[in-house]
Chain A
Amino acid sequence: MSARKWLYRPELGVVAAVVAAWLFFAITAGDSGFLTLSGTASYLAIAAELGILAAPVALLMIAGEFDLSIGSTLAASGMTMALCTTELGWPLWAGIAAAAALSACVGLVNGLIVTRTRLPSFIVTLGTLFILAGGTIGTTRLITGRTQVGGLEDAGGFGAAQKLFAGQIGPFSITLLWWVGLTALATWVLVRTRPGNWIFAVGGAPDAARRLGIPVDRVKILLFMTTALAACLVATFQTVQFRGTDVLRGTGKELEAILAAVLGGTLLTGGRGSVFGAACGALLFGMVQQGIVFSGVDSDWYKVFLGAVLILAVLLNSSVQMRAAEARR
């Protein structure tokens, strides 16, 4: 690939930012554990969970839509599997299946409302974000009288689930494998399959896509279901790892996932972006969040840093791309 072609890549900014952040923390926090294996594992674990959300969120954004509801979907599906096992005595796998079914329905409803009413998905999913958040708190308190549910280790099948969703490989969390696998899968779908081609077209030129016979609405609905199912998967990781869950789990994840996708070069307006970029965005997020801790600065400040990096990365991305586009003419 020629140098100029690299400038066209949407990931360029975020790759540079990841390298810069790593160097920065290696210098400022290298002697306090940032460079150790367990230090690396700690930010990779954060990146993995966020990255699993960011990959489908990036696909959906490339198709021109937002999903703000995944934070609440995460809470709702975690609570579904917890309540099904502790209150109904179901085996954990049945609880996970119920949560997945619920998430798929949430995605379906989001997708149907957006495609049928043509309301902006930002608004529709903001609505479902609130509905699900409130519904989760209300239902949980109605059933248990509390907002936290624990004791999942007694559920049937917990041991196997623990290996699959919360296991360790040396110092690394098994979620890392899930992240790498799903990122590779999503990348392949996006750049090497027909539906991937359609995702770009649906976001880049919806009218043209429709005229060429691409099932625009079906593509969008399926993507909304994918983001919701990703939220359910992350909920499963967390619920199994902590042997229980909390109604507020997942709060803010929807924005973090969008941040990772945008850091990774995905356009807010659709039509352009990359799953690999979103993965790098998630990596940057984890690195900054943990790096700040290692460098001894109060971790309250990490969001300031992340926000600034977001704006800088997007600025770099757009200016480089504009220059590349001009040079081509």
Chain B
Amino acid sequence: MSHETNGKAPILEADHVTKRFGRITALEDVSMRVYASEILCVLGDNGAGKSTLIKTLSGVHPPDEGRLLVDGEPVRFSSPRDALARGIATVYQDLAMVPMLSVVRNFFLGAEPTRGVWPLRRLDLREAEAVVRAELKRMGVELRDMSVPVSALSGGQRQALAIARAIHFGARVLVLDEPTSALGVKQAGIVLRYVMEARTRGCGVILITHNPHHAHMVGDRFTILNRGRCEGTFAKAEISRDELVRRMAGGEELEQLQHELRAS
């Protein structure tokens, strides 16, 4: 579990977090930390507790035990807005976009720049378009026409827009929920490049995925989640892709399955 921390506190840390729903324990004693300019991949199969982890980190559910720390300070998020104010931005799979609205309008939805005073206060669309163009360009996306509806963008472009929006509005930690899951190979590759771009720009990224191949390509460290428990965190140098695949699938279980299949 080696990582040069330069003596700096992680931006976001989960410290022995447990979350229960009634008698079901969704997360048990999970610890993880993410530093600026690194990608932490959280890997887990269905039901491993990934979505509960996302919701705990993003302020939807407070942990039952353990604590969250931002910049080394214990915090208690009362809502997703609260987490956002601390710089923890979550990009869900639906990306919180309105498909029929334009790229520019989606980018600023809920935080539109205006000019003039009421009752003549109006959207500053020119300013908004300039900002979106610049932010997308920094992600490596060039759109000819910013007024096209988001539904006309590719899946990868949409992801880029969501990530650029989060960074623009002050995200220091990006929690990405399965950003490559609904995409083809090529689009997934493009999205992974945006994820790396976010790291270059100084964000700490928590990439939640069930795809060890995608994770191993971009991740700096890997945390494996299985049935709500943390099965260890590894630096990239410590673990090969095959080992990651094996661990994620629950190691021995997979080997046993292989034996059974061979025997039959």
Q: A208-B96, A209-B98, A271-B98 are in contact. Are A197 and B114 (CB under 8 A)?
A: no
B254 interface hit (Cβ, 8 Å): no
B47 interface residue per 8 A CB criterion = no
List of A residues within 8 angstroms of B123 by Cβ:
192-194, 196-197
Closest-by-CB residue of B relative to A213 is: B110
Question: Chain B residues near A207 (CB, 8 Å)?
Answer: 94, 96
Interface flags, A315-329, vs B, CB<8A=1, else 0: 000000000010011
Asked whether, in the complex, the Cβ of B99 is within 8 Å of the Cβ of A204, the reply is yes
Q: A194-B114, A201-B109 are in contact. Are A328 and B100 (CB under 8 A)?
A: no
- The reply on A272 being an interface residue by CB < 8 A is yes
Chain B residue nearest to A271 in the complex (CB): B100
Q: Which of B94, B95, B110, B123 has the most CB of A within 10 A?
A: B110
- Chain A residues whose CB sits within 8 angstroms of the CB of B149 once the complex forms: 8
Whole-angstrom distance from the CB of A315 to the nearest CB of chain B? 20
Q: How far is the CB of A226 from chain B (nearest CB, A)?
A: 15
- Inter-subunit contact A272/B100 (CB<8 Å): yes
User: How far is it, in angstroms, between the C-alpha of A197 and the C-alpha of B147 when the chains are bound?
Assistant: 13
* B: contact size bracket: 20 to 34
Contacts of A205 in B (CB 8 A): 94, 96-99
Contact of B96 (CB < 8 Å), options: A5, A212, A272: A212
Whether a CB of chain A sits under 8 angstroms from the CB of B121 is: yes
Cβ–Cβ < 8 Å partners of A209 in chain B: 98, 109-110
Question: Is B148 touching A193 in the complex (CB atoms < 8 A)?
Answer: no
Q: Residue A214 contacts which of B92, B109, B148, B151 (CB distance < 8 angstroms)? A: B109
Which of B100, B111, B121 has the largest count of A CB atoms less than 10 A from its CB?
B100
In the bound complex, CA of A272 to CA of B125 (Å): 19
Q: How many A-B residue pairs have CB under 8 A?
A: 71
Shortest C-beta distance, A133 to chain B (Å), equals 35
Given contacts A192-B123, A208-B97, contact A200 B105 (CB under 8 A): yes
Q: How far is the CA of A209 from the CA of B110 in the complex (A)?
A: 8
Q: A170-199: which have CB < 8 Å to B?
A: 188, 192-194, 196-198
Interface string of B108-126 (1 = CB under 8 A from A): 1111101000000111010
Does any Cβ of A come within 8 Å of B80's Cβ?
A: yes
B92 to chain A: closest residue by CB: A211
Q: Are B122 and A192 in contact (CB under 8 A)?
A: yes
Q: Answer whether residue B81 sits at the interface, using C-beta atoms and an 8 A cutoff.
A: yes
Taken together as a complex, chains A and B put the C-alpha atoms of A8 and B148 apart, in Å, by: 9
CA distance A271 to B100 in the complex (A): 7
B143 within 8 A of A: no
For B165, the closest partner residue in chain A by CB is A212
Known contacts being A214-B110, A325-B152, is A193 close to B121, with CB within 8 Å?
A: yes
Minimum CB–CB distance for B229 against chain A, Å = 29
CA distance A5 to B146 in the complex (A): 12
Contacts of A208 in B (CB 8 A): 94-98, 109
CB distance from B152 to the nearest CB of A (A): 5
Q: How many Å lie between the Cα of A208 and that of B95 in the bound state?
A: 8
Given A192-B122, A197-B109, A209-B109: A204 touches B94 (CB 8 Å cut-off): no
Write the B204-222 contact mask toward A (1 if CB under 8 angstroms, else 0): 0000000000000000000
- Inter-chain contacts of B95 with A (CB < 8 A): 208
Residues of B within 8 A of A5 (CB): 147
Query: Within the assembled complex, what's the spacing in Å between the Cα atoms of A22 and B242?
Result: 71
Contact B101 A200 (CB under 8 A): yes
- Given A197-B109, A201-B109, A328-B152, A211:B100 Cβ within 8 A: no
Cβ-closest chain A residue relative to B118: A193
Please indicate the chain A residues that have their CB under 8 angstroms from the CB of B97 in the complex. 205, 208
B152 touches A211 (CB 8 A): no
Residues in A with CB closer than 8 Å to B105 are 197, 200
B78 to chain A, nearest CB (A): 14
* Alpha-carbon distance between A204 and B101 when the two chains are bound, in angstroms: 8
A-B contact pairs, 20 of them (CB 8 A): A188-B122, A192-B125, A193-B123, A197-B105, A197-B108, A197-B109, A197-B123, A200-B100, A201-B110, A204-B99, A207-B96, A208-B95, A211-B80, A212-B111, A213-B110, A214-B110, A271-B98, A271-B100, A325-B152, A329-B152
Residues of chain B at the chain A interface (Cβ within 8 Å): 80-81, 92, 94-101, 105, 108-112, 114, 121-123, 125, 147-149, 151-152
Binding site for B on A (CB under 8 A): 5, 8, 188, 192-194, 196-198, 200-201, 204-205, 207-209, 211-214, 271-272, 325, 328-329
A-B complex: 3 closest residue pairs judged by Cβ atoms? A212-B110, A204-B98, A208-B96
- Can you add 18 more A-B contacts, CB < 8 Å, to A5-B147, A196-B123, A197-B105? A188-B122, A193-B114, A193-B122, A197-B109, A197-B123, A198-B110, A200-B98, A201-B110, A205-B99, A207-B94, A208-B94, A208-B97, A208-B98, A211-B80, A212-B110, A271-B98, A328-B152, A329-B152
